[in-house]
């Protein structure tokens, strides 16, 4: 075979692979839609928002309690994880002695790699008993948020640290020439300059938190209700899919695919927002 | 600085500001590190008590309360093998196309890249129900190691491609020009120059993908299933180690000790895989660089 014919065949092979790889997303969305379609077509999308309660076998499909639980849990987790993550990054870069900073950074990376099911196991056997002591039943919105916080801190910390490392040297020199203190430089220059990247990191972490399933399922009690307090057991959208998929049939199964579709769109919207904000270059 | 924040920042005494900021960052770090150390200590302490050689070589008894995790380790290995066997060639080919055969910033490259980034953001439980609907039901694979491995391959694909692509892009352009000047075909350049030069990144990407796949639970529960017997073929259902931890924690009263021991095994495996990735990448790098 001549070299050019071999090249042509190579390019054909590579293109075929790329088509498969990039077509995968379409296939997933199409399949979710195909599985969700029966219930969407004869029941309608509105019922999923307007119905009172989730009893899919009796024909009520209200996703609102689960949606509220997912949003509340992620919101609380981000309120805790954002300051902790940003402070962790500042600690690594500016305040820790070199050795401690390195060890801490290494620990953050390790924490980022801990499987969610292990976090769930630890949460259920350690955090939940602590919360029982405050207010039973223990498995609650709060427990879910705390475990999510542990999962989100590394994402926020590592993106913030990368952003701080990318602040141009000239900014530091300029601040030093103006006689600004280090704190003045950090608060007045470095953090504002990296604002967009930090925000993008937080959005990305929120998207992960919304999509997290196992850890949340294990510690949050899985009662379908709109949470009224931190100590209420709740069921998130993801946990609902994982719990009921095993035995669901017919409309019930289709309605789980509807909630999967809702979840995917929610997470993708957040990721798109993160891409959009992260794309803005604040410093030239 | 005339604006409000500027005056607030400059009016606080410097020493106080230094102390406050230092105190806050140390406290945050102590809190995170403390929680993490507590968790690690729990896993090691509770896991090590139950862990011995027979734990990794025998089958689970009474739903995992006693006995070991040998069939679970075998299933995990098989699922990962299927996932890598499918995702690695597909990922490498796509990465080569993106880095070598599309214009940087061109239409095709942008669309492929965008779809991969979006795919990377899809929650794992969604991969799970897709895998169930597509591989298990539509393709008729049922609850099987094959269905689980294929689902994980879909999940690992974006990270494999992105890391391989950046590794290939990092190969200096001089090498491509030199090879072209020698009249080598692009296929030869690819096999003889680019892929060997990018090996560290390819291996690192592969290991990271394996690590991600190994930690995965939600995508496997409805594809590879729960069966904890030794699998005899790829069409058998097999329980991955993360699914085993989940099942012991949630569905088996008194399974906590075994769950912790399994968690310890899982974390040790993850650390070994990531360590091997770094070591292999380093070796490949020195091997490439020393003869020059």
pLDDT, tens digit, 9 for 90 and up, residues A215-226: 999 999 888 888
Tokens of B123: 């929650």
Peptide bond into B239 cis (omega under 30): no
Best interface-test mutation with A: which of B98, B249, B255, B257 has the largest number of A CBs within 10 A? B249
* Distance, CA of A157 to CA of B25 (rounded, Å): 12
- Please give the pLDDT value at position B15: 79
Instruction: For chain A, list residues with pLDDT below 70.
Output: 1, 278-284
Taking CA–CA distances from B122, the nearest residue in chain A reads: A264
Q: How far is A100 from B227, CA to CA, in rounded Å?
A: 45
The phi, psi pair for A55, rounded to 5°, reads -130, 75
SS3 A40: helix
Same domain, B127 and B171: yes
d(CA A88, CA A154): 9
Whether residue A30 lies within 8 A of chain B, CB to CB, comes out as: no
Interface contact A125-B246, CB threshold 8 A:
no
B191 and B137 in a common domain: yes
Quote the pLDDT of residue A284. 35
Q: Inter-axis angle of helices A195-211 and A237-244, to 10 degrees? A: 30
Q: Do A211 and B115 touch (CB under 8 A)?
A: no
pLDDT at residue B147, as a whole number: 94
Instruction: Tell me if A28 and B126 make a contact (CB, 8 A cut-off).
Output: yes
d(CA A108, CA A150) in angstroms, rounded, equals 10
Same-domain check for residues B140 and B248:
yes
Rounded distance, CA B153 to CA A66, Å?
29
Q: Which of B18, B96, B111 minimises the CB distance to A183?
A: B18
Domain that holds residue B35: 4-50
pLDDT tens column, A182-198:
888 888 889 998 988 89
Are B126 and B9 members of one domain? no
CATH number at residue B119: 1.10.3720.10
Helix, coil or strand: residue A61: strand
Q: Domain total for chain B?
A: 2
**What's the 3-state SS for chain B?**
CCCHHHHHHHHCCHHHHHHHHHHHHHHHHHHHHHHHHHHHHHHHHHHHHHCCHHHHHCCEEHHHCEECCHHHHHHHHHHHHHHHHHHHHHHHHHHHHHHHCCCCCCHHHHHHHHHHHHHHHCCHHHHHHHHHHHHHHHCCCCCCHHHHHHHHHHHHHHHHHHHHHHHHHCCCHHHHHHHHHCCCCHHHHHHHHHHHHHHHHHHHHHHHHHHHHHCCCHHHHCCCCCCCCCCCCCCCCCCCHHHHHHHHHHHCCCCHHHHHHHHHHHHHHHHHHHHHHHHHHHHHHHHHHCCC
CB contact under 8 A, B42 and A126: yes
A-chain residue closest to B162, CA distance: A21
Q: Is A186 in contact with B218 (Cβ distance < 8 A)?
A: no
In a shared domain, residues B198 and B97:
yes
Q: What is the pLDDT of residue A124?
A: 93
Cβ–Cβ gap B266/A118 under 8 Å: yes
Q: Write out chain B residues lying below 8 Å of A186, CB-based.
A: 21
Instruction: Please tell me the predicted confidence (pLDDT) of residue A1.
Output: 63
CB A171 within 8 A of CB A190: yes
pLDDT in tens, A19-52: 998 899 999 999 999 999 888 888 877 778 777 7
Q: The dihedral of CA B37, A199, B12, A177: what is its sign?
A: positive
**Domain match, B132 and B152 both:** yes
Chain A residues within 8 A of B221 when measuring between CB atoms: 242, 245-246
For residues B132 and B8, membership in a common domain is answered with no
Strand partners, B66: B61
Q: Quote the pLDDT of residue A281.
A: 43
Question: Looking at the structure, do residues B22 and B94 belong to the same domain, yes or no?
Answer: no
**How many Å apart are CA A88 and CA A82, to the nearest integer?**
10
| Min distance A204 CA to chain B CA atoms (Å) | 9
Nearest CB to A10 within list B6, B187, B263:
B187
Q: Which residues pair with B60 in a beta bridge?
A: B67
Residue B128 pLDDT > 80, yes or no? Answer: yes
Average pLDDT over chain B, rounded to an integer: 85
Does residue B189 share a domain with residue B231? Answer: yes
Indicate whether B89 and B133 sit together in one domain: yes
Q: Chain B contacts of A116, Cβ < 8 Å?
A: 215, 217
**Range from A112-121, B196-205, B250-259 that averages highest in pLDDT:** A112-121
What residue ranges in A87-172 does DSSP mark as E strands? none
Please determine, for residue B281, whether its predicted confidence score (pLDDT) is greater than 80.
Answer: no
Place of tokens 């379609």: A37
Structure confidence at residue B292 as a pLDDT band (50, 70, 90): very low
Alpha-carbon distance of B105 to B115, in angstroms, equals 14
Among the partner-chain residues B9, B242, B267, the one whose CB lies closest to the CB of A188 is: B9
Top residue of A117, A180, A207 to mutate, by most chain B CBs within 10 Å, is A117
B19 and B84 co-located in one domain: no
Q: What is the pLDDT of residue B284?
A: 59
A245 touches chain B (CB under 8 A): yes
Residue of higher predicted confidence among A42 and B72: B72
Q: How far apart are CA B114 and CA A76, in angstroms?
A: 30
Q: Are B87 and B41 within one domain?
A: no
């Amino acid at each position: 075979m001549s070299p050019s014919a071999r090249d042509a065949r190579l390019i054909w092979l590579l293109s075929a692979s790329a088509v498969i790889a990039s077509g995968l997303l379409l296939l997933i969305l199409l399949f979710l839609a195909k599985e969700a379609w029966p219930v969407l077509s004869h029941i309608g999308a509105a019922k999923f928002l307007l119905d009172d309660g989730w009893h899919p076998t009796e024909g009520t499909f209200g996703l609102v309690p689960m949606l509220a639980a997912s949003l509340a849990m992620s919101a609380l987790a981000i309120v805790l994880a954002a300051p902790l993550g940003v402070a962790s990054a500042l600690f690594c870069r500016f305040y820790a002695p070199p050795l401690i900073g390195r060890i801490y950074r290494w620990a953050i990376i390790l924490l980022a790699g801990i499987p969610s099911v292990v976090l769930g196991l630890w949460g259920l056997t350690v955090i939940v008993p602590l919360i029982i002591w405050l207010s039973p039943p223990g498995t609650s919105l709060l427990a879910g948020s705390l475990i999510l916080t542990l999962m989100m801190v590394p994402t926020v910390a590592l993106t913030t640290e990368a952003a701080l490392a990318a602040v141009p040297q000239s900014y530091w020199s300029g601040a030093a020439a103006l006689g600004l203190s280090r704190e003045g430089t950090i608060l007045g220059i470095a953090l504002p300059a990296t604002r967009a990247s930090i925000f993008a990191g937080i959005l990305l972490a929120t998207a992960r938190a919304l999509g997290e399933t196992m850890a949340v399922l294990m510690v949050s009690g899985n009662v379908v209700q709109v949470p009224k307090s931190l100590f209420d057991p709740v069921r998130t959208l993801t946990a609902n899919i994982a719990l009921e998929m095993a035995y669901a049939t017919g409309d019930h199964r289709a309605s789980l695919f509807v909630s999967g579709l809702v979840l995917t769109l929610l997470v993708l919207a957040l990721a798109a927002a993160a891409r959009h904000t992260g794309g803005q270059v604040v410093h030239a | 600085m005339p604006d409000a924040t500027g005056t607030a920042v400059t009016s606080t005494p410097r020493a106080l500001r230094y102390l406050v900021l230092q105190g806050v960052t140390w406290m945050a770090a102590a809190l995170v590190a403390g929680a993490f150390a507590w968790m690690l200590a729990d896993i090691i302490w509770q896991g090590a008590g139950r862990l011995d050689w027979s734990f990794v070589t025998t089958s689970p008894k009474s739903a995992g309360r006693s006995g070991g995790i040998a069939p679970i380790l075998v299933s995990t290995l098989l699922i990962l093998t299927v996932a890598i066997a499918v995702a690695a060639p597909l990922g490498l080919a796509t990465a080569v196309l993106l880095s070598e055969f599309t214009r940087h910033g061109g239409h095709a490259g942008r669309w492929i890249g965008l779809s991969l980034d979006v795919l990377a953001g899809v929650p794992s439980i969604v991969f799970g129900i897709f895998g169930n609907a597509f591989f298990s039901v539509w393709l008729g694979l049922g609850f099987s190691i094959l269905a689980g491995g294929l689902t994980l391959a879909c999940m690992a694909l974006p990270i494999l491609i992105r890391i391989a692509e950046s590794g290939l892009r990092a190969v200096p352009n001089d090498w491509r020009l030199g090879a072209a000047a020698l009249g080598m075909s692009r296929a030869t350049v690819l096999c003889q120059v680019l892929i060997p030069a990018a090996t560290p990144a390819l291996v690192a990407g592969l290991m990271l993908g394996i690590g991600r796949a190994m930690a995965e639970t939600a995508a496997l529960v409805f594809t590879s299933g729960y069966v904890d017997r030794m699998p005899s073929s790829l069409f058998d259902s097999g329980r991955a180690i993360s699914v085993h931890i989940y099942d012991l924690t949630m569905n088996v009263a008194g399974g906590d000790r075994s769950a912790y021991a399994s968690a310890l095994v899982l974390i040790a495996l993850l650390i070994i895989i990531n360590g091997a990735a770094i070591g292999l990448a380093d070796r490949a790098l020195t091997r490439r660089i020393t003869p020059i």
